[in-house]
Amino acid sequence: MSKTKKQYASPYGKIGDAINELDDRLGIAKGRSLLDKVFPDHWSFMLGEIALYSFIVLLLTGIFLTLYYVPSSSLVTYNGSFMPLVGQKISQAYASSIDLSFSVRGGLLMRQMHHWACDIFVGAILVHMARVFFTGAFRKPRELNWTIGTSLLVLSIAEGFLGYSLPDDLVSGTGIRIAYSIIESIPVVGSYIATFLFGGNFPGTVILGRFFIIHVLLLPLVMLGLVGGHLALLVRQKHTQFPGKGRTETNVVGTPMYPVFMAKTTGFLLVVGGAIALLGAFAEINPIWQFGFYDASRISYAVQPDFYMGFLDGALRIMPAWEFSGFGHTIPLEVFLPSVVFPGIVFALVYAWPGIERKLTGDNELHNLLDRPSLRPKRTAAGATVFALMAILFIASSTDVIANYFKLSLNTVLWDMRILTIIVPLLTYPITLKICREMQFAGAGKRKTTNIVTRTAEGEYVATPAPVYVDDAHHELDALVVPTFVIEGDESHTADAATGVRRAER
Amino acid sequence: MSEHEQRTPVALTGLSADAPHLQPAARRPELVERVITILFAGGIILCLGFGVAYWQNWSSWTLGATMGGGLSLLGIGLIAWGKYLMPRGPFVEERHSLASSEDERTAFAAAIVERGGAVVKRRKVLGGMLGTGLGIFGVVSLFPVVRSLGPMPKGTFFHTDWKKGTYLVDITGRRVNVADLALGSIVTVFPEGMQDTDNGQAVDQTVLIRLSNQDFTTKKGRESWAPMGYVAYSKLCTHLGCPVGLYEQELELLVCPCHQSMFNVANGAMPTFGPAPRPLPQLPLMVDANGYLQSQSDFTEPVGPGFWERRS
């Protein structure tokens, strides 16, 4: 025992020596404050982590898929293990996607995990964004991170659409056809963009290759950079926290990075990965072999896009057939307004919101403490209105399915959706405002304490609040600075050394 | 007892090791530890199982179940470890202002404005020229990047492969005879020779319907377009270009499954419902001496969705 101890220069043994060597070269010991970094605890702070970890799953499963997928629309005679297609002439893209599903070991699982991870990624971004919006976490100094996050949402939707298009099955091909027509609808430059992008009239021969390289290289690179920037800003500006015991604008109360937060967040990474694997195993998604290969003259019925495209499809459905034509030109407003102008306005509004709110409230202060949504009724109502509009449009993307299922006339459903699209957001605003204002007086959000009910000798029941248990996990102690430990009797460390380290912190 | 356990850790900040902040959050840590041990054991077994499932080429769901279960159990155990067995805290960290001092800001602004100004003032023309050159390069380099991607649209959206005397063939390439279709039935047709091509399937696709009315006119000026009750319309929806793939026989409506636009076959394919703004273009038909159907000409207007250059 004592022999091995002598081999190490540092009193902390092998690890201490390794740290010394690294510090000689990189000065890593100065980064100790990262280990002590405190993360505030709240369940809603985990929503962004879901997005981050599903993004990691997307990268890993995506790398697997690129090893087998062939981005080519040239035709081959299929001769693989999926019997219904044997002998048919299908595109290499579709053939390789079918082979990925049936011949490559673990391929089907990876494909389904990739698709599920995508839906979870976009969904988690939306919910995370809702948290950030309704609690006011986007306010100064975090406007830039709101902008980065919004860009990530836009890019993730684009990535989702591109990836969905790659297998060249009947449903995805129809999606590309619709995208082509939407580009074509843009006044003046639409036809040019469409023929440039697709190398001619739809479908052309180049689009799968172009979508592929954008999907697997270009956008992932941009997104990786944005995710890195998003996290770097989070570390630099430190996380926001809810008001509470000992929490002020100038501190952070929670758990330290090492080891507590690291254990919890790594565990969460594994759980997110595990959950996606279970979904990929048990919940079938995008069964391209049932749809068949893409043939521009065939179409399937009652097929919906992935959920994040739903609002666009719904908007296209409920839009009246108002085409403008005159002066020798045509503007297909029935396409251009719902699928280009409308999402443009919505996302512009989202990007601009921190600025709009600063302007409206005249509030230019730094904010590190979060708002309770009910305490900011107007902001909450505005956000709820946008969400309500998007939700109605999402529902409107299945008018035909609703009409079939409930045995209603398609016309009735369509007109109901048109009316609801206007009425529901208009009602959402005042109702949310009212709910928020009522909640302010109800003491909502306060932790409820246990009541002890006793019966007196006369039979009367009396409720008295229970005393707080000292070791109750919910009973918070006063927060302390993260302690550093040394070995007792280690002469090289003194309290001065510790304070010295602290002084070096930013 | 190992050497490590003999050490007595002391907090430099004066916190003793038995302070409440350093105690695990769990009331019964031994129990939690036992649960985590079980979770981890399960995780190890399932991860091994994943390897076995892969090696043995078991089904996709076995792979996913072992991998997902294994990762989840390890993850849940690790979260429980962090949440219940590590110091309960809470701990606090000061938030230092990111903003610099007034002096630092002034010095920074001075460096940018004054030092920069001293250089640029004397060399305004040079700076302007450099800016112009880079600007020109930026604009000019867009041409090869964007312009080379594909051809100019020109007449792309105005013409199809239908010409005078083109035979109508089905997807297998067989010519369509007037005796082929039962009354009220429908078939997708292509210009002969184009049925296997991308353009044929995507642009030229046409629906041929046989109506019971033998002397059929869909619109004024189209008296000769529908011989013997055969009527042909472009299959591209005028809304977003989906194939108009559904036919409601009794009402004589063509329906687009994408956004439910409906077109009245008997009335020049006028849209009667949904977002489609224009009728489907009609293909003028004729019958040759042997009873085979031919087109009289191309469509008389662009097929498919609307675009800027389309004349009304």
Question: At residue A497, does pLDDT exceed 60?
Answer: no
B contact test, residue of A176, A293, A297 with most B CBs within 10 A: A297
Look at B258 and A174 and tell me if their CB atoms are within 8 Å: yes
| Strands (DSSP E) found in A235-296 | 251-256
CA distance B96 to chain A (A): 7
Residue A504's pLDDT band (boundaries 50, 70, 90)?
A: very low
Q: Which of B75, B156, B309 sits opposite A271 (nearest CB)?
A: B75
A178 contact B CB<8A: yes
Look at A317 and B260 and tell me if their CB atoms are within 8 Å: yes
Look at A200 and B95 and tell me if their CB atoms are within 8 Å: no
Instruction: Tell me what pLDDT residue A446 has.
Output: 60
Instruction: Tell me what pLDDT residue A6 has.
Output: 55
**CB pairs under 8 A, 24+ apart, for A187-191?**
A187/A329, A187/A331, A187/A336, A187/B308, A188/B308, A189/B308, A190/B307, A190/B308, A191/B153, A191/B156, A191/B157, A191/B307, A191/B308, A191/B309
Residues in chain B with CB shorter than 8 Å from the CB of A188 are 308
Residues in chain A with CB shorter than 8 Å from the CB of B64 are 109, 112-113, 277-278, 280-282
Q: Which of B79, B90, B98 sits opposite A253 (nearest CB)?
A: B90
Among candidates A306, A319, A299, A342, which has minimal Cα distance to A396?
A: A319
> Which residue has better confidence, A299 or A348?
A348
How many contacts, defined by CB atoms under 8 Å, are there between A and B?
354
Distance of CA A163 to the CA centre of its chain: 16
pLDDT per position as a tens digit, A344-370: 999 999 999 999 999 999 999 999 999
User: Could you give the dihedral angle defined by the CA atoms of residues A456, A458, A463 and A468, in that order, rounded to the nearest 10 degrees?
Assistant: -10
Look at A178 and B93 and tell me if their CB atoms are within 8 Å: no
Give the percent of chain A with pLDDT over 70. Answer: 91
Instruction: Tell me what pLDDT residue A68 has.
Output: 96
Nearest CA in chain A to B90: A479
Question: At residue A91, does pLDDT exceed 50?
Answer: yes
CA distance A108 to chain B (A): 6
Instruction: Tally the C-alpha atoms within 13 A of residue B255's C-alpha that lie toward its C-beta.
Output: 15
- Beta-carbon count within 10 A of B133 CB: 10
The residues in A 6-65 lying below 8 A from B, measured between CB atoms, are 36-38, 41
Look at B78 and A266 and tell me if their CB atoms are within 8 Å: yes
SS3 letters across B182-249: CCCCEEEEEECCCCCCHHHHHHHCEEEEECCCCCCCCCCCCCCCCHHHEEEEECECCCCCCECCEEEC
To the nearest 10 degrees (0 to 180), the angle between helices A310-318 and A410-441 is 120
Residue A297's pLDDT band (boundaries 50, 70, 90)?
A: confident
A181 contact B CB<8A: yes
A contact test, residue of B2, B240, B251, B309 with most A CBs within 10 A: B240
Amino acid at A385: T
Q: Is B279 helix (H, G, I), strand (E, B) or coil?
A: coil
Looking at every residue in chain A, the average pLDDT score rounds to 89
How many helices and strands, by DSSP H and E, does chain B display?
7, 13
Instruction: Tell me what pLDDT residue A496 has.
Output: 44
Look at B90 and A178 and tell me if their CB atoms are within 8 Å: no
**Mean pLDDT lowest among A82-96, A490-504, B89-103, B216-230:** A490-504
pLDDT per position as a tens digit, A382-422: 999 999 999 999 999 999 899 999 999 999 999 999 999 99
What is the Cα–Cα distance from A488 to A490, expressed in whole angstroms?
6
Instruction: Tell me what pLDDT residue A413 has.
Output: 94
| Mean pLDDT (whole number) for A56-82 | 94
Residue A503's pLDDT band (boundaries 50, 70, 90)?
A: very low
pLDDT per position as a tens digit, A307-358: 999 999 999 999 999 989 888 899 999 999 999 999 999 999 999 999 999 9
pLDDT per position as a tens digit, A195-242: 999 999 998 889 999 999 999 999 999 999 999 999 999 999 999 999
Q: Report the run of H or E that residue A76 belongs to, with start and end.
A: strand A75-77
| Mean pLDDT (whole number) for A248-253 | 91
Instruction: Tell me what pLDDT residue B196 has.
Output: 87
Instruction: Tell me what pLDDT residue A470 has.
Output: 55
What is the Cα–Cα distance from A215 to A156, expressed in whole angstroms?
10
Instruction: Tell me what pLDDT residue A447 has.
Output: 61
Low-confidence ranges of chain B (pLDDT < 70): 1-17, 120-122, 215, 312
What is the Cα–Cα distance from A391 to B154, expressed in whole angstroms?
40
Question: At residue A184, does pLDDT exceed 90?
Answer: yes
> What value of ipTM does the predicted structure carry?
0.89
What is the Cα–Cα distance from A241 to A222, expressed in whole angstroms?
29
CA distance A368 to chain B (A): 9
Question: At residue A5, does pLDDT exceed 60?
Answer: no
